[in-house]
Amino acid sequence: MLFNSFEFLVFFPVVTVLFFILPHRFRWQLLLAASCFFYMFFKPEYILILAFTIVVDYYAGILIESAATSKLKKRYLMISLVANIGVLAVFKYYNFINDNITGLAGLFGWTNPIPALTMLLPVGLSFHTFQAMSYTLEIARGNYRAEKHFGIYALYVMFYPQLVAGPIERPQNMIHQFHEKKEFCYTRVVDGLRLMLWGFFKKIVIADNLATYTDSVYGNLHVQTSIAIVIAVFFFAFQIYCDFSAYTDIARGAARVMGFELVKNFNYPFRSRSVTDFWRRWHMSLTTWFNDYLFTPLVIRNRDSIKWGVVFALMVTFSLSGLWHGAAWTYVVFGVMHGIAMSYEFLTKKSRKRLSKKVPAFIYNPMCQALTFLFVCFTWIFFRAGSMQDAFYVLRRIPGVFTELSNFAVTNSKPIFDGTLNRLGLIYCGMFVILLETIHYLDNKFQIFSRLRTQRALVRWSVYYLTVLVMMFFASATAHKFIYFQF
Amino acid sequence: MNQEQLLKEVNEIFKDVLDNEDVVINFDTVASDVDDWDSLNHIQLIAAIEKAFRIKFTSTEIYQFKNVGEMISSINSKLNP
């Protein structure tokens, strides 16, 4: 089920009302049933994948905890990891690996006899398998006790707000919340609804309108002017931020209404002054996952080769985190570019620190922020382009901007927007981006979101009505899926 | 070497690795209290401490350090078994 669908508009209030009517002891059953229903809207039979990993990880957790030797502990952990990564490998990476084998075989004039699979990618697969793995990993590290209640464990993996696109939770944060009895709390319910409203606004008004523009550019790259392409590259940054952070806000809001707190996933990523900083602010629950379970163990193992151990770990971690997004070389390139940038920042930390002391802060900081933003937009070209060819085509077209601009200044006649694009749509998109950044600026400076809470009813309700009104007027004509659903 | 002296020495290592002369740590200090003490630098600190005291932590020990104090007691137990 999509959050931005009419089904959800019915589903959410029904589930929430039932949740508060039912006595505590039945609530986990309601949430589990609701979560199954939510998931089965996409492709019902795929629930079996979830059932498989839930059963394996539930028993693996208990066995890891009670294992007498550390060798045995490791063995049970391996079973859990192999099951989860195996599911990912089959459903997400099989065709990618197979295609590459075919390509490689072709180089030697051989044919690859292994057939390709035709199946849809299960929604949110990378999210819930990662969340499930963090459960057995935490037990193996002795940080968490295995959950004995099968239903509660299943709910930890399946909790509908964050099942298909995160935030990727940890057992320490979530499982105890399912055991606690949640009371109805008016201010918390309003708080959650407000967060959902802001999420819907970002999705329906900003992300989906920008998507209409970027989709038509990336979909017909060859007929577009360079200016249109460059604008699409920048718009995509705001689109993906609004799309993904909207999902997180709606998920956190929906959970909060019922009394559950999910982890924060975004912290103004476009304010980052370095790529390292960016990954602390963007999709934080994924970054911390990779940090705790891949990067840190790798660095610990190679800690004697001090600097190169860290560089090696950064490259491995970011290549894999690129691949986490999707089974395509474009995502790997995206990850590798970030790995290179992080390594560069790591190796030049001291000299950059010295530089920052020489250059006045009012120049240095905005410059770092701009460079980081440009770099991230650049890497997102690979993220968004359908193929490596498309990505390189975009890169080749970028310098054309200057010729087009000078021609435009001289003749004032060459149309910038060909084909399906129109000026009005572009102006709206630009306005939405400015609106978003203005709201971010105001919140950062004056905490407008938390201050809204304490305003008089008239002020609060005016803001809500205005938001809904803008949503009704400017809602994108086409509802788009959330980008991160495919991961 | 007692715990106080150890703390002093470890503080020097922190200054050196983090490239910041103003770093002051005590037994209760945690990563979030110190600028630049992040996951990138954390293992650098550990490696520098291991080198300086000629000791070796196990990876389980490294995961379980909750603050500077626990790190110091671990160093102490390795130096004075």
Of B19, B62, B64, the CB nearest to A300: B62
User: What is the predicted pLDDT for the residue at A85?
Assistant: 94
Task: Report how far Cα A327 is from the mean position of its chain's Cα atoms.
Answer: 16
Q: Which residue of chain A has the CA closest to B36? A: A349
Confidence class for position A408, pLDDT limits 50, 70, 90: low
Q: Please report where in the chains the tokens 């208990």 appear, as a residue.
A: A62
pLDDT at A411: 54
Put simply, whether B2 touches A (Cβ < 8 Å) is no
Average pLDDT over residues B10-35: 85
Complex confidence, ipTM: 0.80
**Would the pLDDT of A342 be above 60?**
yes
Q: Of A283, A325, A338, A480, which residue is the catalytic one?
A: A325
Of B40, B47, B60, the CB nearest to A303: B47
Share of chain A above pLDDT 90, in %: 51
What pLDDT score was predicted for residue A421? Answer: 60
Chain position carrying tokens 């979530």: A174
Is residue A113 predicted with pLDDT exceeding 90?
Answer: no
Residues of B in contact with A142 (CB under 8 A): 60, 64
Q: What is the pLDDT of residue A453?
A: 83
**Is there a contact between B59 and A291 if contact means CB atoms under 8 Å apart?**
no
Residue A299 contacts B, CB cutoff 8 Å: yes
**Cβ pair A291:B50 closer than 8 A:** no
Mean pLDDT along residues A139-163: 92
Domain range list for chain A: 6-183, 188-486
pTM, whole model, 2 decimals?
0.88
Q: Which of A297, A337, A341 is nearest to A140 (CA)?
A: A297
Nearest residue of chain B to residue A290 (CA atoms):
B39
Give the separation between CA A57 and CA A64, rounded to whole angstroms.
10
Best mutation target among B36, B37, B43 (most A Cβ atoms within 10 Å) is B43
Grouping H, G, I as helix, E, B as strand and the rest as coil, residue A39 is: helix
**Under an 8 A CB cutoff, do A300 and B19 touch?**
no
Q: Where does the pLDDT of residue A460 fall: very low under 50, low under 70, confident under 90, or very high at 90 and above?
A: confident
Mean of the per-residue pLDDT values for chain B? 85
Partner-chain contact A353 B40, CB within 8 Å: no
Amino acid A418: pLDDT? 56
What is the pLDDT at residue A420? 54
CA A326 to chain centre: 12
Distance of CA A414 to the CA centre of its chain: 39
**B40 to A310: CB separation less than 8 angstroms, yes or no:** yes
Q: Which amino acid is present at A459? A: V
Higher pLDDT, A408 or A7: A7
Contacts of A260 (CB under 8 A, 6+ apart): A159, A161, A174, A177, A182
Residue A256's pLDDT band (cuts 50, 70, 90): very high
Across the A:B interface, residue pairs with CB atoms under 8 Å apart total 33
The CA distances from residue A304 to A178, A397, B56, in Å, are 43, 45, 11
- Cβ contact (<8 Å) for B19 and A296? no
Q: Which residues contact residue A306 at a Cβ distance below 8 angstroms, ignoring those fewer than 6 apart?
A: B44, B47
- Domains, chain B, with CATH or none: 3-79 (1.10.1200.10)
pLDDT of A424 reads 67
How far apart (Å, rounded) are the C-alpha atoms in residues A216 and A476? 14
What residues of chain A, 130 to 159, have a C-beta less than 8 Å from chain B? 141-142
**A325 part of the active site:** yes
